Structure 1
Amino acid sequence: MISHKILRVLRTADKLPRCNSNLLPRFASNVPNTSLNNKRKTTQLKEMINSPKLEFIMEAHSGLSARIVEESGFKGIWGSGLAISAMMGVRDSNEASWTQITDVLDFMADATSVPILLDADTGFGNFNNARRLVSKLEQIGVAGCCMEDKLFPKTNSLLDGRKQDLANIEEFALKIKACKDRQKDPDFIVVARVEALIAGWGMDEALRRAEAYRNAGADAILMHSKKSDPSDIEGFMKVWKNQGPVVVVPTKYYKTPAKDLADMGVSMVIFANHNMRTCITAMQKTTARIFKDKSLVGVESEVASVKEVFRLQRDDELIDAESKYLPVK
């Protein structure tokens, strides 16, 4: 039970305007982002979270992949903890420190003009670790973070048969409040990820936690499910009754049409790990072929050209800069 004292603290947190699910249409156009680039990245992400249209962000795990996501037309990027840790060759169990994660995010933010929402796991510790992370993210230009209500070190939600220990609801709510109190940019986004359905604690507990975190100041709720159908999400949206923006990650229920999620009232969809998984498949195929053939002939036409690598690295900007800043010999 949440004490009356805690409830009074939580209810003093500032509230953002509630989104209106009755506004239609709910699909955001997938257009180039040049019209948004004059706004702060935090403002861009805040507007996406609170948009009456269903918005989409895509996973990236490096400066290069982040740039590719932006070039494809996505208006935002998901800095996936699973993907970043996988590309480091470690498990998604907080084996990479928060400073190692933010080092990667620093390159990603520099490489792009669209906002990044970081998968910040549990905040890498208690409220103090979490609020220090928020300060660092603001410094490097990351627009928001998503924290899940599990214990540190976390266990990946999609692991089969693995116990998922949840945080104390009061402590996690106050962790969210500490993050919102610490941020300097009013548009910085903190998303509270509810793991009650993942842990098998049921819909009543999921709703209780979501309401507590929203009252603590969370800008949105991420409701997570590993069912192969969207019944968990549909059930939650019915009892949530549009109390605030809801984010989903349809990794397991990937066959669900976007229109169905929009009709439920979902605010944002995260495509959470497919660039990382694509890299694995492509590297396994290419490496096996080269090992077998002892030659590059069979793969050269199937991989990006070196010229394309240079383009993505923006070598043209360096050439222009050299003409300005190096003496003519």
Structure 2
Amino acid sequence: MAFVWGPLIRNHSSMVRNRPSAANLFRVFGPSKPSRFVQSCSVSNEASTPSSKLRQLLRCDDFLLMPCCYDAMSAKLIERHGFKLSFMSGFGVSALHGLPDTGLLSYGEVVSQLRFITESVHIPIIADGDTGYGNPLSVKRTVKGFANAGAAGIMLEDQVNPKRCGHTRGKSVVSREEAELRIRAAVDAREEMGHDIVIMARTDALYSHSLEEAIVRMKLFRKHGADILFMEAPSSVEQMKVFCQQVEGPKMANMVEQGTTPILPPKELAAIGYKIAAYPLTLLSASMKAMEEALVALQSGDPQKVRPLLHDFSHVCDMVGFDHYYEEEKKYAI
């Protein structure tokens, strides 16, 4: 068992993709850090669409580490550090708008943010589709909209609308029948548009009902065509093991620091039976902490306390795309 967490590429030019988007001018692909785990699963150049890249990763034997992004810059950092995929976190996108993850953002706001992210990176992005923003017809529109915005996959859940963060109080789920309809509608939307977008089905029934009900729902979602299964917020390793033993197909573990679920090393998650580990708050929390430390340093009035907290200006310019822009500028003699 290997862990996918190695550098994808070591130069700009070999990552340029023939995709008609102005955002290609601003993609940044600099040297990455050395691989921390053995990288045995690579994405074929023939995997031309985001979804086909994601499906190729799901077929390989490697366990997938998936830091979550919330904007284009966090996605770029994830890619630059060699991760093979990312998840656009609904919690993170809500926080970016100064809001809690309680279903306050509209479909339009989320799909707009998704487009910024997918146009900035080449790695496949799974996007948080929450409850699908309404009835089964709304779910179909959401799936099609996310696919057209470049998502490799979409996660849909069985909470009532408006939903809540899976690791906070006050959650409730729709009936089993309504939950099934959401997944059926998502699969129908995929087939109607001739797309291969990956569908991740999530249940929060463990919180509001029981482990048994959550497993029943997971099996039904798999039967209806879900590609990845996600049981939110197990509170013990034993619950995680039972879920993985009884439900077939690729499964995702949600590693929320200080959340409900035990935080396990990747090797343990893989041994239990998970395929993917998502880290939805790691980068958001780290960035908030870094900004607060910088603000405290500024308040001290001593510039020497600020400098150690910062990247070099040249690195910042490189990350936002100036170097690549200058290369393109020379090409067209602007």
Q: TM-score, normalised by structure 1?
A: 0.84
Partner of 1:249: 254
More deviation, 250-259/205-214 = 250-259
Q: Gaps spanning 5+ residues in structure 2: where?
A: 10-41
Residue 99 (structure 1) aligns with: 108
Match of 1:76 among 85, 93, 108: 85
Q: Distance in 2 between matches of 1:211 and 1:94?
A: 26
Aligned to 1:174: 181
Distance in 1 (alpha carbons) for counterparts of 2:106 and 2:130: 11
Residue of structure 2 aligned with 1:129, choices 117, 124, 138: 138
**How much is the aligned-residue C-alpha RMSD, in angstroms?**
1.8
- 1:31-58, CA deviations, whole angstroms, 9 ceiling, x for partnerless residues? 2234537322111112223433321211
Larger displacement relative to structure 2 (107-116 or 118-127): 118-127
SS of equivalent to 2:95: helix
Whole-angstrom CA distance in 2 between matches of 1:288 and 1:131: 47
Query: Which of 226, 231, 237 is residue 230 of structure 1 equivalent to?
Result: 237
Q: Kindly provide the CA deviation profile for residues 6-29 of structure 1, in whole angstroms up to 9, marking residues without a partner as x.
A: xxxxxxxxxxxxxxxxxxx3x334
1:225–1:233 contact (8 Å) kept in structure 2: no
1:247 partner letter: M
Aligned in 2, Cα 1:185/1:71: closer, same or farther, shift over 3 Å? farther
2:212 is aligned with 1:204:
yes
Tell me what 2:152 maps to: 143
Note the alpha carbon deviations across 1:66-113, whole angstroms, 9 max, x for none. 000011111001100001111110111111112111111111111100
The one of 273, 276, 281 aligned to 2:284 = 276
- Superposed displacement of residue 128, structure 1: 1.5
State the Cα distance separating 1:321 from its structure 2 match.
2.1
In the aligned structure 1, how far is the partner of 2:331 from the partner of 2:263? 52
Q: Taking every aligned residue pair, what percent have the same amino acid on both sides?
A: 24
The 1:37–1:52 alpha-carbon spacing in structure 2 relative to 1, beyond 3 Å, is closer
Q: Which residue does 1:53 correspond to in 2? A: 62
Runs of 4+ in 1 over 4 A off after TM superposition: none
Which residue matches 1:44? Answer: 53
Greater mean deviation of Cα atoms: 40-49 or 179-188: 179-188
**1:254–1:70 Cα change, 3 Å:** farther
Uncovered stretches (5+) of structure 1, i.e. residues with no partner: 1-24
Residue aligning to 1:9: none
TM-score w.r.t. length of structure 2: 0.83
CA 50–194 in structure 1, closer or farther in 2 if over 3 Å, else same = farther
- Offset of 1:230 from its aligned partner? 2.0
Matched, 1:261 2:261: no
Q: Tell me, in whole angstroms, the C-alpha distance in 2 between the residues paired with 1:127 and 1:209.
A: 17
What is the SS of the residue equivalent to 2:304? coil
Tell me which amino acid in the other structure corresponds to 1:236. Answer: F
Q: Using the alignment, how far apart are the partners of 1:314 and 1:257 within structure 2?
A: 34
Q: Paired residue for 2:319, among 302, 312, 317?
A: 312
The alpha-carbon deviation at position 193 of structure 1 amounts to 0.4
Q: Deviations over 1:168-190 (max 9, x none)?
A: 21122121111111123543101
**Secondary structure of 1:58's match?**
strand
1:286 to 268, 284, 294: 294
Supply the AA of the counterpart residue of 1:125: G
Cα contact 2:70–2:92 (8 A) shared by 1 = yes
- Write the letter of the residue equivalent to 1:250: M
**Which residue of the other structure, out of 15, 21, 32, is the alignment partner of 2:7?**
32
Contact 2:234 2:240 in 1 (8 A): no
What is the rounded CA distance, in whole Å, between the counterparts of 2:331 and 2:269 in structure 1? 51
Aligned length: 295
Q: Secondary structure at the match of 1:222?
A: strand
Q: Secondary structure at the match of 1:209?
A: helix
Which moved further from structure 2: 184-193 or 94-103? 184-193
Q: Please say if 1:303 is aligned against 2:303.
A: no
Match of 1:324 in 2: 331
Residue in 1 that maps onto 2:201: 192
Displacement, 1:295?
4.3
State the partner residue of 1:152. 161
